[in-house]
Structure 1
Amino acid sequence: MSDGRAGIENPCLGLAEAMGLTPIVKRIALRTPWRQTTPYLPLPGLSLPLAPGSDGLGPPWPDVLISSGRQAVGLSMAIGRRASRCVRVHIQNPGVPFDRFDLVSLPAHDGKSGANLVESIGAIHRVTPAKLAAAAATFAPRVAGLARPLVAVMIGGSNRFSQLTPAIMAELAERLARLVRAQQLGLMITTSRRTGAENEAILREKLAGLPVWLWDGTGDNPYFGFLALADALIVTSDSVAMVSEAASTGKPVHIIDLAGNAPKFTRFHDRLRAAGITRPFTGQLESWHYAPLDDTARLAARTWAVLAQKGCFTAPAASGG
Structure 2
Amino acid sequence: KMLLDNDGSVRVARAIQAAFPDAPVDIICIDPIRNLFDGGPDGGGENDNTAMMFFLKDRVEVLRDHIDPDCGIILIHHTKKLSKQQVKEDPFLALSGASALRGFYTSGLILHRPDEDASERKLEIELRNGPALPSKLIDKVRGQWVEINPMNERLVRAEVGAKHDAERDRKGGVIVHLISEQAEQGKMFTLSQFAAKFENKGSLGGQTSIRERLHVLATKGHVKFVRGDQIRDLGLKRDRSKFGYLCVRDMRLRTDREVVDDETGEVCPAFVRVLPTDFMCPQSGALLPVENPEVWVDQDGGEA
TM-score range, shorter chain: under 0.3
Decide which structure has greater strand share: 2
TM-score for both structures, normalised by structure 1: 0.23
Q: Which has the higher contact order (CA 8 A, sep 6+)?
A: 1
Largest Rg, 1 or 2: 2
